[in-house]
Structure 1
């Protein structure tokens, strides 16, 4: 029990959630911080699904509730009973009635485009986010773009916000190059309006290379407004795989002719970097965060213009010189992103915060 008396706690509720970019950030940062700060305490509700990570982090199960109720009731009660230590939150939300904490806001998409999300999700975020942002001692976010958006929509002082990029997780080496799909274009992401899968599907129907398939990896999430998704699965040359494991994903990245990411809004955008790590040329939306993250290592398209998306796909298929240039630039671009460096930024900020308090 002595470890619980230490002064930094990490909210590990992310270990109960399906893996998206937000949970990937939390897991990788938590692993790095655990190496840098051995006195950290990780606490979570009982419904953990990432058991290996929980064991690695020596997670302590507290409380009887789950989900939001655990975060808003059990977690702050535990903290108040343990001398109100500093709490680190890595996945957007945090306890409303607790002030000794830092938070991480990955994006403010629910403020910018609320129609993409369920009504209950939007109501909850619009109530919670401004309040915890105002009370938090420090806010981390994943890009300069997201920092500007947080300032605009949550009215937070810029000095309070620290930008910490995502890293690139080390996925397994591919077990084979060829797949059963033949020639294909790959897309990875949640099946929701923000990822703009509808326009990608329409653009795919316009490309001249009719011998290609479109492989879409990911599934839907209850937080999104998924109306209309059922209309996407109407063609034999478009394959929805659902979620895949890291080995399958490695094979898909390696075998793809190109990776398409026509997202309408991102706080960061991890999948294009994963594609670069496997030598796959990337076609991405010309939006602020992806320009910041992908630099000169991607081809950019207007995500609202299906003809432009289709022409971009055809160009990348036809132009081997362009593909090779993007792959080469991608290898260089990846050097900017490291989980270890990002965790060190958080460690330094937390250390300074504690020293000042």
Structure 2
């Protein structure tokens, strides 16, 4: 029987790396060691370079870039090649797609209150269109947690048997060397004596909670990494003059690893996630403790290996008595890109 060819939308290789792109990159790297030659191809727009794989073929196709490439050139390649699509970043072509799509979460549908300005509303409208299209057109859907699977079924009526869970993992952190120079650059940081969080202005990340925690614990240092207008947001909230809140701006991967390793605890008071990978990365870097929001997703992913923040009653307080019940090694053993790649391969083999 002729082998099904799966052609991956590789446009993410030209995008700034966030959790979605990281998932795609690491999953393909691990999948390369499992698939037979000719089974999987990565298709990229002009000027976007994919890695060199052993068994996965890479192809540059088309003349467009960005969203136009995704919507026109990528489906043209699928037709030309007679291949099925594998789209790993929440987006498929509106027309001409048959295959598997990854939906990382449906936050734009579940929490429209997070997207109230014009840009947010437009982004939410586009993503909700994509969710509906994927629910209708994708042969199969992959998501990153059982929680997210339930959300897709709840909001888009997709039968559970059409959805498979392929988790995130953490092994990419092993390739990063910690950059301890951050402690010389920022005099307020002393190893083992600060709380660390990675923030942005997305409402689900709940940056205000970290500021309130800093206000309520003035004798402790709160190190906050992230770009954008965090200080402007702090001014808007009336929390701009906290001497124990240290804004680090964007930090390198090596600096983040050092900061995670030496913190008192890594804070992740998220309001909504499909998986929530930063605390897992923090544990992989040696963080002695992670404190995450008490939500179904966080409970599923982190189990008894985290301390939990009840955001219904805790509006900004770090409880140093909140401790995990299980060792971090159990958490790390639960997730690996190799396991996830095998789960993806099982889906590819089933969906011929």
1:191 maps to which of 201, 219, 241: 201
For 1:87, the equivalent position in structure 2 comes to 85
User: 1:277 and 2:275 equivalent?
Assistant: no
Change (3 A) 1:240 1:66: farther
Change (3 A) 1:14 1:185: same
CA contact (8 A) 1:91 1:106 kept: yes
Q: Distance in 2 between matches of 1:31 and 1:42?
A: 11
Change (3 A) 1:114 1:60: same
CA-atom RMSD in angstroms = 2.6
Alignment of 1:136-155 (within 5 A): 136-155=138-157
Q: Distance in 2 between matches of 1:119 and 1:230?
A: 24
* Residue 82 (structure 1) shift: 1.9
* Residue 58 (structure 1) shift: 6.1
* Residue 144 (structure 1) shift: 0.5
SS at 2:317 equivalent: helix
Q: Distance in 2 between matches of 1:276 and 1:186?
A: 12
* Residue 236 (structure 1) shift: 4.1
For 2:300, the equivalent position in structure 1 comes to 292
For 1:166, the equivalent position in structure 2 comes to 168
Change (3 A) 1:259 1:108: same
TM-score, normalised by the number of residues in structure 1: 0.84
Q: Deviations over 1:73-118 (max 9, x none)?
A: 11111221222x0111111111121242100011000001123231
SS at 2:51 equivalent: helix
Between the two proteins, the alignment pairs up a number of residues equal to: 330
User: 1:239 and 2:246 equivalent?
Assistant: yes
Q: Deviations over 1:103-153 (max 9, x none)?
A: 001100000112323111111112221122211111001110000000011
SS at 1:93 equivalent: coil
For 2:274, the equivalent position in structure 1 comes to 267
Q: Distance in 1 between matches of 2:4 and 2:335?
A: 31
Higher helix fraction (1 or 2): 1
CA contact (8 A) 2:271 2:293 kept: yes
* Residue 259 (structure 1) shift: 0.4
Task: For structure 1, list consecutive stretches of 5 or more residues without a partner in the other structure.
Answer: 222-226, 317-321
Change (3 A) 1:97 1:259: same
Alignment of 1:99-138 (within 5 A): 99-117=97-115, 118-138=120-140
For 1:64, the equivalent position in structure 2 comes to 63
CA contact (8 A) 1:64 1:74 kept: yes
TM-score, normalised by the number of residues in structure 2: 0.85
* Residue 213 (structure 1) shift: 2.1
Task: For structure 2, list consecutive stretches of 5 or more residues without a partner in the other structure.
Answer: none
Q: Distance in 2 between matches of 1:339 and 1:119?
A: 34
User: 1:315 and 2:349 equivalent?
Assistant: no
Q: Distance in 2 between matches of 1:88 and 1:284?
A: 32
User: 1:332 and 2:339 equivalent?
Assistant: no
Q: Distance in 1 between matches of 2:31 and 2:347?
A: 12
Q: Distance in 1 between matches of 2:129 and 2:233?
A: 28
- Extract structure 1 runs of 4+ deviating beyond 6 A: none
